Amino acid sequence: MAAGEAEARVFLEVRRRLRSALLIVGEPKEGGMPMDLTVRPFSLRLATSEGCTEIRLPAEVRLVPSSCRGLQYVAGDGLHLRLQAQAEFSTKPISIFNRSSEAQECCTFYCQSCGEVIIKDRRLLRVLPLPSDNWGALVEDWCCHPDPFANKPLHPKENDCFIGDSFFLVNLRSNLWQEPKANTKVICKRCKVVLGATVSSETTKFYMTEVIIQPSERSFSIIPRSQFVQSVVAECLVELASARSTFRYTIQGQDGKVYILLWLLNLDSLVAESLKCSKQIKKFPLFEDTLKSDSSSSCNAVKVLYQPCIKSRNEKLASLWEGDISVHSLTLPSATCLELLLILSRSNAMLPPSLRQMNSFQVAFLKM
């Protein structure tokens, strides 16, 4: 930014369904000098005695200046105001597996961390979602006779891929020289990351956060790890909320240890901060993995509340959640649970101070 221009941090959250926006404009760095703010449909203008700055809003966002309400100054944050807004979905979430278009094609399974080929040229004829974890307990309500599915687990055939809440089930018998034992970890040969576990001698579970499935003719593309984990977890939360109206989750490792309590607040946020200035492009600290100097200055995200459960923290609350049937459990490799906790903590630290807490929970955004 050129000398003499007003520089202030700007945070914007737009709720698409509510057609509303929260705009926070921080004080200029130079001693908190008086500042004039002009809100326009596609930009903000900040003016001080030292000069003025024009900040462009994300291209898909349009504000309604005449609807401004709730204007207040919050110490530590700056100026808060709410107004009507419109926003279109500008980016697609990272698709881990396109069930419709990639079925019937030859697919290759890659380790997401290093690109090592796990399964090469597998033709998937059936890509099917698995029922919920407690489907067996519900069969008694469906049948007037003894359970016909008792002790009959769902195992995919060679050209099948079954999709669970946070994992894939595939048949690996044809890819192995020797028969594997059940309940053993599947580890990447190159980077030694835990990719999944064997379910039986023929069936292997791969975690969605560790594996990318792509058509074989497409070359492997590296996605930053933080960006990938956020997108996968956010997509899982959106699907579970839509299909089962589930909004509270325990994130646990393979050993059953709970690492995070997660409470989904909303699915329709568009978040931006440190927006584009007319003379200099700034990155968002919150989304630094994906933004380039010429990229869009906003991201679709889900808003969550969370509590860490490492080092014996929140044990009592975790125990209550584990015994609550309305709480859903998502299992990931332990290392990925810690990665996710770090992502949430970083997101929380980048929010304006007044937005970081809600009741006893911490607030964060998971980018899609």
**Rg of the chain's alpha carbons, rounded to an integer?**
24
Give the pLDDT confidence score for residue 354 in this predicted structure: 94
Mean pLDDT by 10 residues, the chain (368 residues): 55 94 80 77 85 84 93 89 85 50 73 94 90 65 69 83 93 60 84 93 93 89 93 94 93 95 95 59 41 55 96 93 94 97 96 94 95
Strand order in the sheet with 126-129: 126-129, 160-163, 167-171, 203-207, 194-198, 185-187
Which residue, chain included where needed, has tokens 């040229």? 121
Angle between helices 225-244 and 334-350 (to 10 degrees): 90
Where would I find the beta strands (DSSP E) of 182-310?
185-187, 194-198, 203-207, 211-215, 248-252, 258-273, 276-277, 299-308
Q: CA torsion 211→93→233→16, rounded to 10°?
A: 180
Give the span between the Cα atoms of 117 and 279, in whole angstroms. 44
Q: Which of 113, 117, 205, 119 is nearest to 156 (CA)?
A: 205
| 3 state SS for 84-149 | EEEECCCCCCCCCCCCCCCCCCEEEEEECCCCCEEEEEEECCEEEECCCCCHHHHHHHHCCCCCCC
All structural domains of the chain with their residue ranges: 9-87, 106-215, 225-367
Give the pLDDT confidence score for residue 295 in this predicted structure: 37
Q: Which of 169, 148, 175 is nearest to 157 (CA)?
A: 169
**Could you tell me if 337 and 260 are in contact, meaning their C-beta atoms sit under 8 angstroms apart?**
yes
Give the span between the Cα atoms of 119 and 158, in whole angstroms. 12
Give the pLDDT confidence score for residue 181 in this predicted structure: 66
Residue type, 266: N
Which helix (H) or strand (E) element contains residue 63?
strand 61-63
User: In the beta sheet, which residues pair with residue 54?
Assistant: 45
CATH fold of 9-87: Immunoglobulin-like (2.60.40)
